[in-house]
Amino acid sequence: MEDRFGQPRRDMVERQLRQRGIRDQAVLAAMGKVPRELFIEAGLRDSAYADGPLPIGCRQTISQPYIVAYMTELLELQGGESVLEIGTGSGYQSAVLAETAGRVYSVEVIPELSAAAGDLLSTRLGYRNIFFRVGRGQEGWPEFAPFHRILLTAAPAAFPAGLFAQLGEGGIVVAPVGDGEQRLIRYRKQGGVIRSDELIGVVFVPLV
């Protein structure tokens, strides 16, 4: 028997993602599978598949589904990559990455959020390829570097350039950047050189 969120989840994938241009089949499949209703406050479950961000406690928010899909698609994942994620939050984006990449190393500055995400993802949902660390994302996770991909889900005023040292050759970074006005930026490392593309305007909590 299917749970009551199956239909809203499929509708979200169709209307909010596919019809708006998300093409990556692995991203669409991941978002059709991860139970977003478990990542938000229990009282808000009926809004789990609404077309917007939602509160996750500690004054933080989970991004709009489209933004999660768009950022994941920009990472051009093939399935085996190791990904550094900065800003675990609820762990929803971590789960989408765990479905589309190889290993996810997720750093969160608020201990309660990291612990709750670890409990949900590892204990309840059984993910074995997501690793959690409490700390400042600007420092990355040197023990597991270099990463094939780096994703920020909190916005620095300027990109913390030290993180590029933890990005492997041919790697991609996707990050919201800006103070007030934010833009999504994609960086690529090729021949040791970083090139950047500015994409859409976004609204994320600041990287602290």
37 binds ligand SAH (CB under 6 A): no
47 is catalytic: no
Distance CA 21, CA 75 (A): 16
Cβ closer to ligand SAH: 28 or 110? 110
CB of 192 to ligand SAH, least distance (A): 26
The contact mask relative to ligand SAH for 93-112 (x = CB under 6 A, - = no) is: x-------------xxxx--
> Which of 56, 84, 167, 172: binder of ligand SAH (CB under 6 A)?
56
Catalytic residue among 63, 82, 90, 114: 63
- The binding site for ligand SAH (CB under 6 A) comprises 56, 60-63, 86-87, 89-90, 92-93, 107-110, 113, 136-138, 153-154, 205, 207-208
